[in-house]
Amino acid sequence: MRILVTGGAGFIGSEYVRLLLGKPLGSADGVPPLEPTVVTVLDKLTYSGNLANLDLVRGDPRLRFVQGDICDPTTVDEVVAGHDVIVHFAAESHVDRSIAGAAPFVTTNVLGTQTLLDAALRHGTGRFVHISTDEVYGSIDDGSWTETWPLAPNSPYSASKAGSDLLALAYHRTHGMDVLVTRCSNNYGPYQFPEKVIPLFVSNLLDGGTVPLYGDGGNIRDWLHVHDHCRGIAMVQQKGRAGEVYNIGGGTELTNKKLTGLLLEACGAGWDRVVPVTDRKGHDRRYSLDITKISEELGYTPSITLDRGLADTVRWYQNNRTWWEPLKTTPTA
């Protein structure tokens, strides 16, 4: 089976490539045999893409890397040809950047996805797995979202993801394409660019600096280890039903303030290192996913507890300064 992974040099996409090639960050328990003959990574290498993320699988004869933009129809057409499956991670992925400027989010997330879908349609690609987010549902005060919940995104990032998510499902309904959508909660783990809250806080703390906590710190997120996320995606790729949406969560809801406390403790720092900052504009209060569907249909359960996952992640950032230190000075534009 020939698998194309877009955004495979990013945080989550690179773990998916490691899983496909037999070198994941955790055990592949419950994951059906993947056995790819070719894994092609198509990645533009934006500020968040990094070839070093693929170091563990570098040299695997099945791995092919193409540097290119998913918005470029010529490149996409050439790369998509001959693949049986596309797993589509490539995106602009940081909410704060989308508040500062939405244009690259609309271009890559919406137009880029449409460009890929059109190429997959032309080439008769067997299966298209679109990686979406729980942020497309908006914010929820009580209870949890099932996959049939209406979409009500609040940030330019989540609106662009909702656009691509609905577009992918429309290609199934309109053209009968074998498209599946996954919507996951907040990921964390090794190789995450140090602008998202966990790697930002850990790297700042390891550097002896302070960490910015938004608003009252009461926003609630469900944390999912990147390896568990990729196990869930593999189950969807192998056993999911065409045209279906699958939520993938970690079952670990907690406030940002509580998370901050855990990270301070893991890094041996105190609350004097926390600087309260003005809340993010339009900050969603709470995310909560119902994962009954993927659990009952495909046998998914998260395998990494938050305690263990955070401890492993902090240790990874302690031991891999050469990976993240240069990224802290990457221009943010």
Ligand X SMILES: NC(=O)c1ccc[n+]([C@@H]2O[C@H](COP(=O)([O-])OP(=O)(O)OC[C@H]3O[C@@H](n4cnc5c(N)ncnc54)[C@H](O)[C@@H]3O)[C@@H](O)[C@H]2O)c1
Between residue 181 and residue 200, which ones bind ligand X under the rule CB under 6 A?
Answer: 184, 186-187, 193
Q: Which of 15, 43, 69, 134 is catalytic?
A: 134
Least distance to ligand X, CB of residue 75, Å: 9
Q: How far apart are the first and last CA of the chain?
A: 38
Between residue 85 and residue 124, which ones bind ligand X under the rule CB under 6 A?
Answer: 89-93, 108, 112
Asked if 49 touches ligand X (CB under 6 A), the answer is yes
Least distance to ligand X, CB of residue 87, Å: 10
* Cβ-based neighbours of 294, under 8 Å, separated by 6 or more: 232, 235, 236, 246, 247, 248, 300
Asked if 70 touches ligand X (CB under 6 A), the answer is yes
Judged by CB under 6 A, the residue of 4, 5, 7, 165 near ligand X is: 7
Judged by CB under 6 A, the residue of 3, 4, 10, 204 near ligand X is: 10
300 counts as catalytic:
no
Q: How many residues bind ligand X (CB under 6 A)?
A: 30
Nearest-CB residue for ligand X: 10
Question: Phi/psi at 133 (nearest 5 deg)?
Answer: -145, 155
16 counts as catalytic:
no
Identify whether the C-beta of residue 84 lies closer than 8 Å to the C-beta of residue 126: yes
Name which of 9 and 86 has its Cβ closer to ligand X.
9
Name which of 102 and 210 has its Cβ closer to ligand X.
102
77 counts as catalytic:
no
Least distance to ligand X, CB of residue 250, Å: 10
Question: Up-side HSE of residue 91: CA atoms within 13 Å toward CB?
Answer: 29
Asked if 43 touches ligand X (CB under 6 A), the answer is yes
Identify whether the C-beta of residue 64 lies closer than 8 Å to the C-beta of residue 43: no
DSSP states of 210-229 as a string? -EEEETTS--EEEEEEHHHH
Least distance to ligand X, CB of residue 187, Å: 4
Least distance to ligand X, CB of residue 186, Å: 5
Stretch that binds ligand X, among 23-31, 39-47, 271-279, 311-319 (CB under 6 A): 39-47
Sheet holding 253-255, edge to edge: 186-188, 220-225, 253-255
Q: What ranges in 176-302 are assigned the alpha helix state H?
A: 197-206, 226-239, 256-266, 292-298
Report how far residue 323's alpha carbon sits from residue 295's, in angstroms, rounded to the nearest whole number. 35
Q: Which positions are catalytic?
A: 134-135, 157
